[in-house]
Structure 1
Amino acid sequence: MTITAGEIDAARSTDLRREVLRPHWAPGTPMHGDDLADAVHIGAVDGDTVVGACVLQPAPYPHGDEPGAWQLRGMATAEGRRGEGIGAVVLDAAVEAVRARDGQFLWCKAREVAVAFYERNGFTVGSPRYVEPQTGLPHHDMYRRLA
């Protein structure tokens, strides 16, 4: 497996993010961040196929004033490719992209089933469990200091 990760055009990862995170949405429906000028799209690519992705955007952390805060959203790995380390490769590229923009703090709304993954990759739980209204799934806010 030769996976590379870095910044990509939003359109390259929209279908993957929608299939993984919002499978009930109709094909062709844009995903969050696709239309934001300040969003940074990260993709892990195997050959010509995007197999992992996320979206980054500058956004205040909801649990305190953190300078240089960026939110990680839309973290997705292709079905059948989970467990190969693709998510970690995406996160590494995301951290580098935020650092390159002088970001100091990265946070996300992590599905409860993904908390251990984020912890293995340097994130800390920053909120009690809550149900995210858009998905109806349990989440925790998590963060990683980059400075």
Structure 2
Amino acid sequence: MLTFKQIKADDVINIRHTVLKEGQPIEVCHFEGDLDEGTKHFGAFLNNELIGAVTMMFKKTNNYKVYPVYRLTGLSILPEHQHKNIGKRLLHFAEENISRKGSVMIWCFARDYAVNFYKKNGYRLNVQQVVIPYIGSHRIMFKFVAKED
């Protein structure tokens, strides 16, 4: 049975390493902001085994003052469970969780190969390309999530 819930920062490290940072030191899987007060980590569990994770980091900004802003990062589904809509379901679970108290803006650096995944899930593409050392080309994407009443 597939379930989703909020998890601790330490729970996301191994999945990030396996999916996003393979071949790099595990220390690079600890992201700046993981332990911040406004950061939330979410996991996908299959039969109580963690198979996916995503992090939503609350960001204070002077550029966008109308709604709270979150940075989506580290969306990772173990390879043997990819292409089964688990990432989509985990992403929607996280979005619903952070928007319970009100509407939010979410942005992320999407790897080039993930742009279509984010587009299918309502994210818009910013044409700006960002090259992250040791990882490669990314695109900035964003989404407005309205609070559901």
TM above 0.5: yes
Q: What stretches of structure 2 of length at least 5 have no aligned partner?
A: none
Cα pair 2:16 2:29 within 8 Å, conserved: no
Instruction: Say whether 1:100 aligns with 2:80.
Output: no
Quick check: which one's strand share is greater? Answer: 2
What is the letter of the counterpart of residue 144 of structure 2? R
In structure 2, the residue corresponding to 1:127 is in which secondary structure? strand
Judged with a 3 Å threshold, the aligned counterparts in structure 2 of structure 1 residues 49 and 38 are, in CA distance, closer, same or farther, namely same
Question: 1:37-116 counterparts in 2 under 5 A?
Answer: 37-59=37-59, 64-65=63-64, 67-116=67-116
Q: What is the aligned partner in structure 2 of residue 128 from structure 1?
A: 128
Q: Shift in Å at residue 61 of structure 1?
A: 6.9
Q: What is the aligned partner in structure 1 of residue 144 from structure 2?
A: 145
Q: Shift in Å at residue 128 of structure 1?
A: 2.1
Q: Number of residue pairs matched?
A: 144
Cα pair 2:8 2:41 within 8 Å, conserved: yes
Q: Deviations over 1:3-53 (max 9, x none)?
A: 111211222222011211111233476521443332100111101211111
Cα pair 1:51 1:86 within 8 Å, conserved: no
Q: Deviations over 1:63-112 (max 9, x none)?
A: x5252111101110101111001100111111112102435111111001
Q: Kindly, what percent of the aligned residue pairs are identical?
A: 24
CA RMSD of aligned residues (A): 2.2
